[in-house]
Amino acid sequence: ILCQKVENLVVGAPCGVMDQMTVAAGQEGKLLALLCRPAEIKCQVTIPHHVRFWGVDSGLRHSVGGSDYASVRTGAFMG
């Protein structure tokens, strides 16, 4: 996916494809069932009307640009 390559090579963040695929293919009121390796969308799952989601800001900073994250991703792909 081109978006992932830009983040990996230009920005220097060794991220996966989940965020990019969600932005590109997500639909309001549905969950996106996907495989991140390979980048493959399985289906869109309709969220029942009685189900609600809440986001919680933990206040913790998160970064995929650090060496720890890069090591974990490399290890995951190398087996």
| Catalytic residue numbers, as ranges | 19
On the 0-12 / 13-18 / 19+ scale of CB atoms within 10 A, 7 is: buried
Alpha helices in the chain (DSSP H): 2-5, 18-25, 67-78
Rg of the chain taking only CA atoms, in angstroms: 15
